[in-house]
Amino acid sequence: MGFFISKSLDQNMKKQQEFMLMNSRLQLERQILMQNQMRERQVAMQIAWSREFLKYYGAFLGIAAAGCIVGAMKKRKPQIFLPIVPLSIVFVYQLDLGYGTLATRMKAEAETILENEGERLALPYGPPTFESIEKARRAQSTFFIEK
């Protein structure tokens, strides 16, 4: 009789372990999806910010260019037009980021770095460990006094 109870307990324990494994896998998949969605939203916000900045900066650049052209023609000094060069470089960068292929090129370069230059990505002292986090938590914590 004890054998049947033991066998039944073993089967229940096995089913429970399978359920826990499936549940943890499902939870991990959800976390990965959530983190990816958050990353996508952050990138979308960055691109949207760049597009919005481009509108205001484009207006500024247009007014500055018109002022420089008029000033250069009135004073007969072409040097007055020189500030437009660096300002237009910033404008082209923002235009490329907001509407061009800069994000795609940056992604390709990041993939190249990950594949070929992984050693440059190492954190000082390596990745955080449970022990290092606990040590820092204990140093900052005033709630629990542990011996």
Distance (Å, rounded) from C-alpha 1 to C-alpha 7? 10
pLDDT of residue 4: 64
Point out the residues of the chain with pLDDT beneath 70. 1-5, 143-147
Sign of CA dihedral 128, 116, 96, 58: positive
* Cβ–Cβ under 8 Å, residues 107 and 97: no
Residue reference for tokens 């900045």: 53
Render pLDDT for 48-83 as a digit per residue (tens, 0 to 9). Answer: 999 999 999 999 999 999 999 999 899 998 898 899
pLDDT for the residue numbered 2: 56
CB 75 within 8 A of CB 123: no
pLDDT at 59: 95
Categorise residue 111: left if φ over 0, alpha if ψ from -120 to 50, beta otherwise.
Answer: alpha
